[in-house]
Each structure stands twice: as C-alpha cells, then as structure tokens.
Chains A and B, each alone.
Chain A
Amino acid sequence: MLSLDFLDDVRRMNKRQLYYQVLNFGMIVSSALMIWKGLMVVTGSESPIVVVLSGSMEPAFHRGDLLFLTNRVEDPIRVGEIVVFRIEGREIPIVHRVLKIHEKQNGDIKFLTKGDNNAVDDRGLYKQGQHWLEKKDVVGRARGFVPYIGIITILMNDYPKFKYAVLFMLGLFVLVHRE
C-alpha cells in the first residue's frame, strides 16, 4: 500500500540523498519566487496576477476568475479600463471599471470607478471625504483573463485547514519522492 512503499524509500536513502532532496526542494521554491518577482518587474505591478473576490463585475468576471495585470507608467489611465485598486488603509484589492477621469497638463490624474454589477459609483467605498482615486492607489490594469482557476485560492483562504493540508502533502511528496 502507499504508506509501506514510501517508508521503504526513506529507509533506502542515505544522508547524501536526503541533503539532495532538501536542496531540490529549495531549488523549486526559489525558482517559483524568481518567476513571480520577474513577472512583477515585467508588468510593473506589485501583484501581476489577482483573483476576483466579489461579484461586483458580473457577468464579466465571477468569483474565482484570474486576472493578469500590468501597471506600466507609459500606459495612461483611460475610461472603460478595468483597474484593480486598493483604498488607503484597506488591504483588499477591488476590481472595477473607470467611469470618469480628469487629467492635468502635468500628468496628475484623478478618476472615479464603478463596478459593472453595481447600481452606483464607488464613492461610497472610498475613504470618508475621498471623492477620487489617484495613480498611487492603482495595483494594475486588467489585460488578460482566465476563468475559474482562482477558485483554489478562494478555497484556501476560506478554509485554512485545507491550505495547510495541501502544503503539508506537497512538501512531504517533494521531500520523499525520488525523482
């Protein structure tokens, strides 16, 4: 059965192979980190891939959809674009569409957003007394989209035991498996 097989494998490994497995594990983790940081540089966004958390952009995006963001300075913010932004003091990013922009000669821009599925604009969501968003609040502009895949992230957030179980199994598998 499964448990006897893997115990045999562990007994057969000597110290060197154990170190090799641990190094292998470290290599995988650092490659993943490198790819993520590389994406951050290329797209200019601090969070180049986000999961849609609410239903305020239905029927375009549903909870669990994955969005690819860019935040390059040369790309100006224009109406109709889908922006992901954070309100000062809150950490949850919001995915909504730009409704109105007013841009000055020197590039300073203030804009208003609204969710497709909401009846009113987002002024009710902003901080008390805040009427506009600025470039600094923007995490990125949505450029690409893949449906459903982000459900895993939502499941892991809603059921933390599930997340720990998955991470534990993954770690165990990589450490013990020979290939």
Chain B
Amino acid sequence: MNTVLSRANSLFAFSLSVMAALTFGCFVTTAFKDRRVSVDIHVSKVMLKNVDDFTGPRERSDLGFITFDISADLEPIFDWNVKQLFLYLSAEYATKSNSLNQVVLWDRIILRGENTKLNLRDMKSKYFFFDDGNGLRANKNITLTLSWNVIPNAGILPLVAGSGHVSLPFPEQYEATKSY
C-alpha cells in the first residue's frame, strides 16, 4: 500500500464492491412488495365513428372516443427504490375477428417527488382508439383499467394493474358528424 497506483486500485475496487452491494440491497429489499392501489375510473362520454384508419393500414375501421375521469392515490407505491411510475389507461375487449384486443388510450409518467395524488376530470384519450376492423360497434363489453409499470433504481420491472376497473358498452350507431 505504498504506491499511488496500488492505493488507487484498492480504493476503486472497494467503491465498486460497495456500490454493487448497495444496488443489490435496493433490489432485494423491494423485490416482493405489493404495488397495488385502488383506482376509481368513471366514463362520462362515449362516441363511435367509422373512418379510414389514417394511423396505419388504410382500411375503414371503428374509431372510438371516450371521455373519462380518474382518481387514485399512488403515494403508497413510492419508496427508496422507485424511480418513476409509468401509468397507462388501457381498453380491453373481444371482437369477432380478434379474441383479445388491448389499446392504450392515455399514459403519463410520474417521477419520484412529483404530486402522487391523481384527480383527473374530463380527460380525452391521448391515442386514437382504432379497432382492427369494425368490432367496436354494439360491443357490449369494453373494460378500462389503469395500470402502471414500476421503474426501480435497480431491480425488477413489474406491471401492476390497479384494482378498480370499469366496463362499458359501445353504441350501436356511428356518429355522422364530421368533427373529431
């Protein structure tokens, strides 16, 4: 331990081992935590159109419009190993041509330190709700769920669904108006 090089070497090796132990500690202490929270979703308006799918394959497809409210308190999920939460509201339904469809309507990133109480009213969807075909019309059961992807400082990346989802039917008729 009498040259600068060997001292620097041991210092470097030691700090590397300490950081590795800390990272492993972060992972192990939060690996099995339950990250579920109850969520309240309410839908105020549903509308249906049938237009050419301009976001992709240019076939006439059903386009849905949903206006919704979300309330949730995400405070209990955050701890020393949560860097951010990626929230997403997804609609799940079945149609004649596809037995399972899932579409993300809206998403948001919440970083640690930001406001964790959600109280959103009259939100419009961020992404166009196109079906792969014409399966939304008169569809009795579209289920909306708010889920989140927990991004840790180091460790497992779980996808957790909030308890509290809402099911709604789509109308039988298309809207004839030109406005979106």
Contacts and interface: CB of A to CB of B under 8 A. Distances in A.
A78 interface: yes
Contact of B159 (A80, A104, A112): A80
B136 to A, nearest CB: 12
Contacts of B103: 79, 99-100
A46 interface: no
Contact of B88 (A79, A105, A121, A142): A79
B88 to A, nearest CB: 5
Nearest to B161: A80
Interface string B96-115: 01111111100001010000
A104 B99 contact: yes
Contact of B56 (A59, A60, A131): A131
Contact of A59 (B57, B101, B109, B156): B109
Interface in A93-144: 97, 99-105, 110, 112, 116, 121, 123, 131-132, 142-144
Given A60-B84, A60-B86, A123-B55, A145 B151 contact: yes
A19 B76 CA distance: 60
Contact of B100 (A59, A101, A123, A131): A101
Interface in A125-179: 131-132, 142-147
A7 B56 CA distance: 67
Interface residues of A, number: 29
Contacts, number: 76
Interface string B1-26: 00000000000000000000001000
Contacts of B142: none
B157 interface: yes
Contact of B152 (A99, A121, A145): A145
Given A103-B98, A103-B100, A145 B90 contact: no
A102 B84 CA distance: 28
A99 B153 CA distance: 24
B157 A145 contact: yes
A53 interface: no
B147 interface: yes
A12 B170 CA distance: 84
A81 B111 CA distance: 18
17 contacts: A59-B111, A78-B159, A79-B88, A80-B147, A82-B157, A99-B127, A102-B100, A103-B100, A104-B99, A105-B99, A121-B127, A123-B55, A143-B156, A144-B156, A144-B157, A145-B152, A146-B154
